[in-house]
Structure 1
Amino acid sequence: MDRVEFKEKVIEYAHSIGIDDIGFTHTEPFVEYREKLIDYHEKGFESGFEKGSIEERTNPDRTLRSGRSIISIAVGYPNRLPNAPKSKKGERRGMFARASWGMDYHTLLNSRLEKLEAYIKSIDASIECNSMVDTGVLSDREVARRSGLGFIGKNGFVINPTLGTYSYLGEMITSFPFPPDEELIDSCGDCNICVDRCPTGALVGNGQLNSKKCISFLTQTKGFLPDEYRGKIGNRLYGCDTCQQVCPRNKGINTDHHDDIILEPEILKPELTGLLEISNRDFKETYGHLAGTWRGKKPIQRNAIIALAHFKEVSAVDVLKRVAENDPRPVIKGTAYWAIGRILENDALGYIGERFKIETDETVKEEMLKGIQESA
């Protein structure tokens, strides 16, 4: 079987197992991307979640020495939530970003890549493969761009002609030299909507992102959320979709044909107070299958508390007091006190004053003072 015929068979099989788009590229170093990473590092834009050195992230042969080609896959995911429960006074709700809807995308994509690898080896068992989904050192987005799956928009996402930005990406390095695809020549042109609408100004143009200012990154941190961003995250529990929601290239797109992406409205848009005292076991059983819980329940609970302050939800004060008084974690305890101050304003002075005499953790006491001072 020649290279072109083999490639066509792989494409046909990929579509049969739920891969919406597939592209191929060579394993030469990502030279231009390397320069971007150096600039990114020098500007201090890194989140700290990045894996590997710049050399490892731009040289595919560091991952698979025998690699001759890279297969990039894209699986679209839905961006509309049917029968979503309403967030209303007395029952405020948070939201998980769309990339976290349904099964953890690592599991979903790895399943497809495993099948694809098995198919390739069924034709030629000598072919070596190395698959990765957001866990390897290569950039899923940069591989997809060079494989012709789309172009990098000003929001930093790969914009695919049929899937828009709402797609999961993964790749497989193989020792077989599949013919490479041409890169997609396209751009955002003069459109700057995502940059202008970013809540924190994290998008700096040309697809660059200051990760430390990005709400998606901030919702995943475990410490106290910086003061300047608490008023920006709204009811987001994990991630942020603003730069995708406003993108004109996503108009009319909603990929909802995958049977293994099951939407659970009550879980994806949960009632906030129900998250505050949930046990580790119940949290894992209810939310553990979501990609958005990879950092555990602590960031989710902190964000839920901030969301209640955002809504000024007076009905949540009693549970917030229980959390503030009983939770052993300073970040959760302190954020709860802060939220009480933000919600009750001057009416919180007596309560905060009495509790201030009892609390001993200095970071918690700082949050107590901050909450009433900001409300004054």
Structure 2
Amino acid sequence: DSTALRERLPEMVAARFGNQDDGDDDGPRPGPTQCHDITLYPEIGLAGGACEGYGLLLDISDPANPRRIDAVADSNFAYWHSATFNNDGTKILFTDEWGGGGQPKCRESDPMEWGANALFTLNDGEMEFQSYYKLPAPQSPFENCVAHNGSLIPIPGRDIMVQSWYQGGISIFDWTDPANPVEIAFHDRGPVQPDEPSFGGSWSVYWYNGLIVSSEIARGLDVFELTPSAYLSENEIAASKTVELDYLNAQGQPKYVWPPSFALARAYVDQLQRSGGLSAAELADTRETLADAEEETGSTRQVVLRGLAEDLGGVTSSDAAKVRMLIEAVLMLAG
């Protein structure tokens, strides 16, 4: 089973490829001979290798001498295809392209663990399995469907990803809690042919400067914008649009950085409302003070914002980490 396989993996890898920690520096470095995709995250000095039979975590802090620091396997995975880190580098997600993308693996009869994502936390260089995520809507037996390419969406304070699922369409999901990922939005064109097998669907989908761009194999290019919902507020979307990239190579994952903005502060307020981290009165006062500050300029705005940060510092919250994010956003606005 998967748990037993994960426990035995280190000795299996060592038996097949040798042990990198045996103190012997002579000869070729052991390791796999091929990977499907390797995602580099230079800002944190790590890379995730989806290496067909298992997933690797690589130390690339010295780019000329990458080093394998951990490996994972899963009996539910058929083909480790790609990897994505969360923005702060505390989690990693691997996709399983079961059937090479040409098979219907999202039928109601297919296990949720097949052709899905496996989510891991990163702790002291080790990957710890948390859960699976798979497109939740069952697809027909005529639709090729399996986890494929995607990218993070820069929603501040959350880990949100958009991902292609071939004829399953695209799924946007929240994996901030890696043990309980949940879909928050989707788009599905339906089958290319309603009554016979055919090949098509979203091959890859990426967020880029406020837009979501999906390459649909059989039917062209789809371009989307996010809209507010119970799962995603207008302020969160506005804050994501303040992130601007010069270019995007999904295998060279960029670190998202949010510039100071009132949208950023309000996004954190919305998240605190969603989590119950501030009382109704505290939420109302914070929103009113932000509105007052936005009407002001110069030193007057600075005084109002610093006063708000001081008040928030005295709040007792069940979501203290998010309150700290809000305080930091307010202080950045104050300058």
Question: Which of the two has greater strand per residue?
Answer: 2
Which TM class, normalised by the smaller chain length?
under 0.3
Larger Rg: 1
Higher RCO by CA contacts (8 Å cutoff, separation 6 or greater):
1
TM-score, length of structure 1 as denominator length: 0.25
Question: Which of the two has greater helix per residue?
Answer: 1
TM-score, length of structure 2 as denominator length: 0.27
